[in-house]
Amino acid sequence: MRSVTINPPRMCQPIGAMYATLGIHAAVPLVHGSQGCAAYPMRMFNRHFREPVQIAVTSLGESASVFGGRDNLIAAINNVITRRKPELISVITTCLSETIGDDIEGIVRETIYDLEETEGKDVVPIVTIHTPSYVGSHVTGYDNALKAFVMHLSKECDESNEKLNIIPGMINPGDIQEIKKMLDLFNVSYTIISDISDTLDAPLIMPKPPFPNGGSTVTEIEKCTDAYGVISLCEHEGGSAAKFLEGKYGMRSNAVCPIGVSKTDQFVEVITDITEKVAPYEIEKERGKLIDAMVDVHQITYGKKAAIFADPDIALGIAEFASELGMEVVVLASSTSSNAFMNAAKEISDGEILNGKDLYDLHKAVKETDADILFGNTMCKKSIPAGEDDVAFVRCGFPVYDRVGYYRYGIMGYHGGIYLLDLITNTILDRN
Ligand code: SF4
């Protein structure tokens, strides 16, 4: 048994909370920690999305580490309000501020009181999110953030707005576009709670607006309580928020990650079930095209041994799709340890299940199982055994920074499935 991690498979909790905040219109993530806690995630976002993401930080130094970061946090909130004029601020804790034990809620309350009562200003919502990075991962951070947003912002409403709430998880702008397209075909109105489809894939507009257009608005989140129901696309990243909405407002809640045929079928059934709308012919047509594409290339994909690494729900979705393509899933690995992942993974694969293990374990498993194809983010490149250049490497998940444009294309839904299938097939062909 090793007592060190070699090539960690996960990122820290705050990055998940930042990801969630960046999907809210004109929101500023304010990291309560040292400068590095914001600089490293910012770089990760810049490299994956090729967008100039801005993250504020309270810049805790030596004295704040000893005496507490209260003054830094108050100054930072004031600065962000004055300079950026945001519509929401999320205060995201870090290892440092959690270890110091700063009373974040108390400091935020005090700051709001001073601004409102003493200075007579209207203060935008300030949501506190606890993301100590010595537990969990970016997955937990995203989940905590979404729960904090709906707990803080949602308001009781009397009438149904005839909308469906979708909590996407840490997926790409292209995936959200695919989901929106499906819902539009269904003629279903929706609220995407944390919608990065335009904020992290924004057009270049001059002069540059202070915030990108798009994202879920604070008002939409406030009114999300009067929806038909809520679907989390990645249960580990947003499932807690969905459970909160279900528990507090009696909203119907479902979790399904629509990757591949059967999971997208389930997604379509859930939409039909909740909204009582029948799937239109266009949806059926997209499904048929995916099946046709699978038949067209089955001689290439059939029998290939697949090793899959991703965040838990995405890994399970890709594994199901790989099985539908006739592949043998020999390694199924999650970035984040979870019992739900373990149980679901055993249902899909008889191979090796890596539940939150590091990328060195993934490397060993790829080698020992003689895998033909590896799915993973850029960091997984290290898991291809030396000299085994014939292992096809399909880039997916976050971050992908050694190629451009991956964030633009969705792998979810039937149409996204066709893109993923072409990617898989062409990557295998490139090795031949
Ligand atoms: S692991 Fe902790 S100290 Fe390191 S960047 Fe993340 S929050 Fe900051």
Contact 199, 212 (CB under 8 A): yes
Q: How far is the CA of 12 from the centre of ligand 1 (A)?
A: 6
Q: What is the pLDDT of residue 276?
A: 92
Q: Please give the structure tokens belonging to residue 312.
A: 């838990």
CA distance 61 to 9: 28
Q: Is residue 410 part of a domain?
A: yes
- What ligand 1 atom has the least distance to the C-alpha of 40? 5
Q: Is residue 114 part of a domain?
A: yes
Q: Is residue 107 part of a domain?
A: yes
- What ligand 1 atom has the least distance to the C-alpha of 12? 6
User: Which of 228, 254, 284 is the last residue in one of the domains?
Assistant: 284
Q: Is residue 309 part of a domain?
A: yes
Q: Are residues 333 and 234 in the same domain?
A: no
Q: Are residues 265 and 297 in the same domain?
A: no
Contact 235, 143 (CB under 8 A): no
Q: In terms of Cα–Cα distance, which of 286, 317, 321, 316 is closest to 301? A: 321
Q: Are residues 67 and 85 in the same domain?
A: yes
Percent of the chain exceeding pLDDT 70 equals: 99
Q: Is the CB of 36 under 6 A from ligand 1?
A: yes
User: Which of 266, 284, 302 is the last residue in one of the domains?
Assistant: 284
Q: Is the model's pLDDT at 219 over the cut of 70?
A: yes
Q: Is residue 96 part of a domain?
A: yes
Question: What is the mean predicted confidence (pLDDT) over 243-249?
Answer: 96
Q: Which residues are within 8 A (CB) of 409 and not within 5 positions of it... i.e. 6 or more apart?
A: 172, 174, 416, 419
Split into its structural domains, the chain has a count of 3
Q: Concatenated DSSP letters for 109-161? A: HHHHHIIIIIT------EEEE---TTSS-HHHHHHHHHHHHHHHH----SS--
Q: Is the CB of 141 under 6 A from ligand 1?
A: no
Contact 427, 306 (CB under 8 A): no
Q: Is the model's pLDDT at 388 over the cut of 80?
A: no
Q: What is the pLDDT of residue 3?
A: 87
Q: How far is the CA of 336 from the centre of ligand 1 (A)?
A: 16
Q: Is the CB of 8 under 6 A from ligand 1?
A: no
Average pLDDT, the chain: 95
pLDDT in tens, 309-366: 999 999 999 999 999 999 999 999 999 999 999 999 999 999 999 999 999 999 999 9
Q: Is residue 1 part of a domain?
A: no
Q: Are residues 202 and 337 in the same domain?
A: no
Q: Are residues 338 and 405 in the same domain?
A: yes
pLDDT in tens, 332-347: 999 999 999 999 999 9
Q: Is the CB of 316 under 6 A from ligand 1?
A: no
Q: What is the pLDDT of residue 382?
A: 83
For the chain, give percent helix, strand, coil, nearest 5: 50, 15, 35
Q: Are residues 290 and 364 in the same domain?
A: yes
Q: Is the model's pLDDT at 386 over the cut of 80?
A: no
CA distance 64 to 88: 25
Question: What is the mean predicted confidence (pLDDT) over 287-304?
Answer: 98
Q: Are residues 278 and 292 in the same domain?
A: no
Q: Is residue 148 part of a domain?
A: no
Q: Is the CB of 131 under 6 A from ligand 1?
A: no
Q: What is the pLDDT of residue 2?
A: 83
Q: Is the model's pLDDT at 60 over the cut of 90?
A: yes
Q: Is residue 153 part of a domain?
A: no
pTM: 0.96
Q: Are residues 179 and 268 in the same domain?
A: yes
Q: Please give the structure tokens belonging to residue 337.
A: 């340890």
Q: In terms of Cα–Cα distance, which of 41, 35, 36 is closest to 13? A: 41
Q: Is the CB of 174 under 6 A from ligand 1?
A: no
Strand, helix or coil at 408?
helix
User: Which of 284, 307, 336 is the last residue in one of the domains?
Assistant: 284
Q: Which residues are within 8 A (CB) of 12 and not within 5 positions of it... i.e. 6 or more apart?
A: 37, 41, 94, 95, 131, 133, 137, 138, 141
Q: Are residues 23 and 128 in the same domain?
A: yes
- Structural domain including 69 reads 13-141
pLDDT in tens, 3-53: 899 998 899 999 999 999 999 999 999 999 999 999 999 999 999 999 989
CATH of the domain at 171: 3.40.50.1980
Dihedral (CA of 16, 178, 319, 43) sign: negative
β-bridge pairing 305-310 and 229-232: unpaired
User: Which residue's alpha carbon is at the smallest distance from atom 5 of ligand 1?
Assistant: 37
CA distance 256 to 264: 8
Max CA separation in the chain (angstroms): 72
Q: Are residues 271 and 228 in the same domain?
A: yes
Q: Is the model's pLDDT at 199 over the cut of 90?
A: yes
Percent of the chain exceeding pLDDT 90 equals: 91
- What ligand 1 atom has the least distance to the C-alpha of 33? 8
Q: Please give the structure tokens belonging to residue 240.
A: 């807690």
CA distance 3 to 360: 13
Q: Is the CB of 12 under 6 A from ligand 1?
A: yes
Q: In terms of Cα–Cα distance, which of 167, 48, 55 is closest to 408? A: 48
Q: Please give the structure tokens belonging to residue 144.
A: 């905590």
Q: What is the pLDDT of residue 158?
A: 74
pLDDT band at residue 384 under the 50/70/90 scheme: confident
Question: What is the mean predicted confidence (pLDDT) over 364-376?
Answer: 95
Identify the DSSP state of 192.
E
Q: What is the pLDDT of residue 432?
A: 67
Q: Concatenated DSSP letters for 242-298? A: HHHHHHHH--EEEE----SHHHHHHHHHHHHHHH-PPPPHHHHHHHHHHHHHHHHTH
Q: Are residues 170 and 239 in the same domain?
A: yes
Q: Are residues 278 and 307 in the same domain?
A: no
